Amino acid sequence: MRNDAPHLRSTDSRDGAGTHAPVRAAEPWWRGAIIYQIYPRSFLDTNGDGVGDLPGIIERLDYIASLGVDAIWIAPFFRSPMADFGYDISDYRDVDPLFGTLADFDRLIEETHRRGLRLMIDQVLSHTSLDHPWFQESRASRGNPRADWYVWADPRDDGTPPNNWLSIFGGPAWTWEPRRQQYYLHNFLSSQPDLNFHNPEVPRAVLDNVRFWLDRGVDGLRLDAINFCFHDRALRDNPPKPRDQRVGRGFSPDNPYAYQYHWYNNTQPQNLAFLEQLRTLLDQYPNIAALGEIASEDSLATMAEYTRPGRLHMGYSFELLTEDFSSAYIRTTVDTLERKLHEGWPCWAISNHDSMRVASRWGGADPSPRLATLLSAMACSLRGSVCVYQGEELGLPEADVPYEALRDPYGIAFWPNFKGRDGCRTPMPWSDGAQAGFSAVAPWLPVPIAHRQRAVSHQEADPDSPLNTFRRFLRWRRQQPALRWGEIELIDLPEPLLAFVRRCGDEVLFVAFNLGAEAAAVPLPLPKATALCALDGHGLPEGHVDGGILHLPAYGAVFARIG
């Protein structure tokens, strides 16, 4: 296809912006990979305590392999007081008894690899739990060996915190410690104190913890809040944000965190050198991938910066985890990243454990299962790798968890305007029984009836279910090099249509999705001589091109070979 076709925006440009390295003959496993995210406490409970565990993941590995994914990413399972459900770590080198043992983890690695899958784990590097021995020592006095391992600051003359930084979970990012007569920094909960990466001993100790898991055989790391490792040493105030720009990524609408430009409490230039240290460690192990979670004032620019050679392998942000939903928004987001991302590799996510499930976020109160399936296929057709959150393959909507059953401190603090993250964290519905086949006892969060009606046991028997359509699409995608590794060229079409071209060597695919509930027919802005050969086998409702007109059924798609 010509890059000067009408209404066609290519990621290739004369000045080099948006260009990418050519596809190599043998791609590393993580490029174009589908990564299945598991929230372990909600996957499968095997010991009857109402909380999922590592043996539960092992028990369902055949199911995961049947989906056609390439890897699994497991949210934190390390020792923790669970104030933030594992993202507050007290021992980085052990499994919390809630989830099992180190022996269980070693068996999980072995069984995962035996099925041809890769295993990625979460690493939470920017902060620890209050219960971590490092913090217990650091808080004791100003003169102990780890006194400078966390971010401590004297109060202002009036006793207030040293600056105006805010916690993502609401309120000041500083908590008073009477033992030291100082404040400590926490960008998240007050029980998650931030490490001081300006002290060179800290990154060395953090990397030693990472090495522990690399030595056990993990294939990759998902790096939580990786741009939060360093802070501004001068502790400058964050500037205020105009009211019309207070649109955070996944923030409650009444969260004051959105009132500031977060220029100084994260995303500092010193973090780049740390990423290069981390990459030097990772390069000592074969076939390792690092995926960074990035949330900054310009997350797409930070992704491009963090994934340059010698830093992270991939990055993802919250741009497709917001309530913004239109083909124009998706197209603009992808186009913006492509123009910034010269050498790095993107990763996309449309659902995760921190965001409302995409079926409800983009589909409303009664989302169509066909929309959920289409959205997964759309994400898996973009250039990059993709994180698929457990239950997306079932088309699960957001669960409405009553206040008395809430467990998330974020939701409890901001109720009723914002219900927190429990609605996307409810247990996986394996069957339609009272506990959804998740546990023999009442689970840690209730499973809604709507989820039990979409249980795996129901969908397995229906060849046209979201689950089986998802499987068919991933099997088909695996045979399409252009979808796995190719370049992307975006095409302007009216709402609610999204279209682009994927190119890998001599293979060129035209791809179009109808994100709406009504059939659509529009002129296709391609040169008249363009020859399209429609492909089948992907399992989605199929559209077609006839006489230069693109016809797409509701929630339908076209995949066609060009030339």
Instruction: Give the list of residues 6+ apart from residue 32 with CB closer than 8 angstroms, or none.
Output: 384, 385, 483, 484, 485
**Could you count the other beta carbons within 10 Å of the beta carbon of residue 125?**
24
| Burial of 16 from C-beta contacts in 10 A (0-12 / 13-18 / 19+) | exposed
Rounded to whole angstroms, how far apart are CA atoms 61 and 351?
Answer: 21
Q: Which residue is it, tokens 């123009």?
A: 339
At 259 the three-state DSSP class reads: helix
- The CB density around residue 529, as the number of other CB atoms within 10 Å, is 5
Q: Is 542 a catalytic residue?
A: no
Q: Bridge-partner residues for 363, per DSSP?
A: none
Residue 368 zone, left/alpha/beta (φ > 0; ψ -120 to 50; rest) = beta
56-83 exposure pattern, b = at least 16 Cβ within 10 A, e = fewer:
bbbebbeebbbbbbbbbbbbbbbbbebb
110 CB neighbour count, 10 Å cutoff: 12
Helices 270-282, 299-306: crossing angle, 10 deg rounding: 50
Cβ contact 292:313 at 8 Å: no
Structural element, H or E, at residue 534: strand 532-534
464 given a catalytic annotation: no
Among candidate residues 152, 126, 164, the one with its CA nearest the CA of residue 263 = 164
Contact 556, 562 (CB under 8 A): no
Q: Judging by beta carbons within 10 Å of its beta carbon (0-12, 13-18, 19+), is residue 204 exposed, middle or buried?
A: exposed
Give one DSSP letter per residue of 345-403, joined into a string. Answer: EEEEES--TTS--HHHHTT-SS--HHHHHHHHHHHTTSSSEEEEETTGGGTPPPP---G
Which of 53, 88, 194, 293 is labelled catalytic?
293
Q: How far apart are the first and last CA of the chain?
A: 8
Q: Is 331 helix (H, G, I), strand (E, B) or coil?
A: helix
Partnered with residue 520 across adjacent β-strands are: 552
Tokens of 132: 């971590």
* Residue 167: C-alpha distances to residues 228, 233, 295, 523 (Å): 12, 18, 14, 49
- Paired with 24 in beta bridges are none
Element (H, E) at 122: strand 118-124
* Catalytic-labelled residue, pool 104, 224, 392, 393: 224
Separation between Cα atoms, residue 281 and residue 6, nearest integer Å: 47
**Residue 272 to residue 311: CA distance in whole angstroms:** 8
| Residues with active-site annotation | 224, 293
